[in-house]
Chains A and B, each alone.
Chain A
């Protein structure tokens, strides 16, 4: 299937799946639940065979607000991306939840998929997204007293100036 066809189909109008806007690109199914329907959607998916949560991560879209989303999805600063896997049928589904920058909170998936505990901690550590109801929401990769959230787009990266041999500094 060519890429153009795929994008065309995604543009042809968003389908719905589990009551959420759905887009299918390059053979991957992506649904966009809201923060309120997020947990229920994951539960419904778990009942339908998506029994494994392989990944929870986030993206900070601060510098890329104009990304294309299906109609009916309000773009926010953060997006939490959840990858679910159905090992019986060999299929995947991806959830993208919009999380506003002013109030970056999202209910935890811990009760549905206990394995997300560490992944949510990583998202908290790197983006400052607070997962309410999480049993142990501490930083996981950075030291506990670290200031700032490194993977946010407004987090400054340090650079070391390149020294060229023989150049006047």
Chain B
């Protein structure tokens, strides 16, 4: 299947087009698709749609216009392209067009061993890399049958990093959400606090992002000396800053005016669309995988699942802000309970030997060489493991044929499902609200397109 010489397929050379994926004039769109684009979620089969005759009394085509928002728009968080049908400033239809950041990571994942896979998945949702690695590692460990043998310390390190990562991701959300709505100084504050968290990641993993630190079998290295003081410093630093955000945004009339009642979605609709994470919780459904189907040691720590009640952009903002606080609560408990011991499983088939052993032991050298060249073989089977990422359910589906490479690796991306709520949330709102809505869904395009 691999060829050594590279020749670009003709289709890679010429210009490509989205054509049929784009938003078309109403006269060319079948009823069911139209209903989808105007954001109708329930009762959407074509027969039913026709029966209801419920295509709303929208103005004629000559009074509306279809415009592109993105893929280069600064508030589309990357390369999300929305096609909007507008009447004046009111959004009538919306269609997200994605794929501009598609790099075939699932295909790449089939070429990499389980040992190398972490470097690939960590780049998908680049704002919460630990969660990608975690889902991938948990799935691999389940397939290997070593899931119950992971050392306690490794599990708690994973939880520590997950929650800190949730904080950094939500802090970035607060920054971009502020920026999108004109609270530009918030952008600086949010990035500033996030940077503090990333600095800790850099100390632990060596990198600010794309860590490849959580690996099948445990984590790549033990926490560095002084990590506890660093975390405590973070926990002292961030709460007063969150108070400042409350002053700057939460209680501020302009902020509330811009977010309350904007981009409303009901619980039934959110569930029908497969939305998860803060988008689902904003509607009042308290679904959090950490609570509902606990993985790692989340059953042993105290935290609240933050829910909203109106399903609007303000709820989604408030949920994320308060989830930062909940994450800090979990981090404090992790600090108290961090057990001593190994940070990775002592299974020679999965874990490379320590550097020092390689000089002394021929076997260690062989294991090292085999692991880094061939990787380890994973028994046949298929598995789906989901974790609660800052954006919702991040799942990893792996089908193994018994070799050292996943036969198929699929990542269930929370952003991919969540942006499908956009047509629904946008309908009837203003273009200015569109920016607020995109921002409130907090999509990461690396995650959407993979």
Contacts and interface: CB of A to CB of B under 8 A. Distances in A.
Interface string B1-31: 1111111110100001111110000000010
Interface in B388-422: 393, 395, 397, 399, 401, 407-408, 410, 412, 416-417, 420
Interface string A24-67: 01101010000000000000000000011111010111011001
A115 B420 contact: yes
Interface stretch (B36-44, B80-88, B115-123, B191-199): B36-44
B306 interface: no
B384 interface: yes
Given A55-B397, A142-B99, A157-B111, A115 B272 contact: yes
Nearest to B142: A26
B408 A59 contact: yes
B380 A140 contact: no
A68 interface: yes
A109 to B, nearest CB: 11
Nearest to B418: A115
B5 A161 contact: yes
A49 B33 CA distance: 27
Contact of A147 (B11, B287, B292): B11
A110 B44 contact: yes
B interface residue count range (under 10 / 10 to 19 / 20 to 34 / 35 or more): 35 or more
B276 interface: yes
Interface residues of A, number: 60
A105 interface: no
Interface in B249-278: 271-276
A57 B4 CA distance: 30
A135 B46 contact: yes
Contacts of B8: 158
Interface string A141-169: 11111110011011011111100000000
Interface of B: 1-9, 11, 16-21, 30, 32-33, 35-36, 41-42, 44-46, 98-99, 102, 104, 106-107, 111, 142, 145, 147, 271-276, 285, 287, 292-293, 379-384, 386, 393, 395, 397, 399, 401, 407-408, 410, 412, 416-417, 420, 449-450
Interface of A: 2-3, 25-26, 28, 30, 51-55, 57, 59-61, 63-64, 67-68, 81, 83, 85, 87, 90-92, 94, 110-111, 113-119, 122, 126, 135-136, 138-147, 150-151, 153-154, 156-161
Given A55-B412, A144-B19, 19 more contacts: A55-B395, A55-B410, A57-B397, A59-B410, A81-B382, A83-B412, A87-B287, A90-B292, A114-B272, A115-B420, A122-B416, A135-B30, A136-B33, A141-B99, A150-B107, A156-B1, A158-B8, A158-B9, A159-B4
